[in-house]
Amino acid sequence: MLLKRFLGEANLLIVAHYSVKGQSLVVDCCGDAFMFAGMRNKKAPQSPAGTSTAVEDYLERILELINSKGYARVIDIAAALKISQASVTNMVQRLDADGLLKYEKYRGLILTAAGKKLARRIAQRHKLLTEFLRLLGVDDRVIHHDVEGMEHHISPSTLRAIAALTHQLQRRPALRAQLQDGAL
């Protein structure tokens, strides 16, 4: 099935989280501590679903980490997104405030049902768009670059059209060969 769902159990390793007068201090499993005050980016780019692309990127990476490692730590998210751990910690507080993930004392950071739903949706979009471009014969590096942008901005109706076209391309090897040879 093209839009196959997948999700493991979340278990982010933030070992301590203190909150004093609106300021928060998070200490991760490496002993690194970060102060933050829940700053928001008011003009963040939005996806058609109304979620910021940054939020979608975080949820997508967190889901990938959970699926591949069984957990996602701040340090791993920072490495995956190529940003500072302080920035990740800031976003973690935002996602917590938005009800997309939460910190549990003994389980670490986990995705809520809403967080899982959004993360699965972006993962499905990524998978479908990757499959579609691959069937067109696009180079893997270009696919990765393009999909990471497209997945945040594509509308549901266009996504449905691409899903239908992808299905046809999967069933028609002759048409695929023509496309990949540049014969059309």
Distance of CA 172 to the CA centre of its chain: 31
From the CB of 151, what's the least distance to Fe ion, in Å?
Answer: 5
Q: And the tokens for 30?
A: 């490496």
Classify residue 50 as left (phi > 0), alpha (psi -120 to 50) or beta: left
Nearer to Fe ion, 28 or 64 (CB): 64
Give the separation between CA 85 and CA 142, rounded to whole angstroms: 28
Give the separation between CA 125 and CA 130, rounded to whole angstroms: 8
Nearer to Fe ion, 107 or 146 (CB): 146
Of residues 76-135, those binding Fe ion (CB under 5 A): 126
From the CB of 15, what's the least distance to Fe ion, in Å?
Answer: 29
From the CB of 126, what's the least distance to Fe ion, in Å?
Answer: 4
User: Looking at beta carbons, which residue is closest to Fe ion?
Assistant: 126
Nearer to Fe ion, 28 or 60 (CB): 60
For Fe ion, what does the binding mask look like between residues 42 and 71, x meaning CB under 5 A? ------------------x-----------
Q: How many residues bind Fe ion (CB under 5 A)?
A: 3
> Can you spell out the DSSP letters for 20-64?
ETTEEEEEETTS-EEEE-----TT--B-TTS-BHHHHHHHHHHHH
Binding site for Fe ion (CB under 5 A): 60, 126, 151
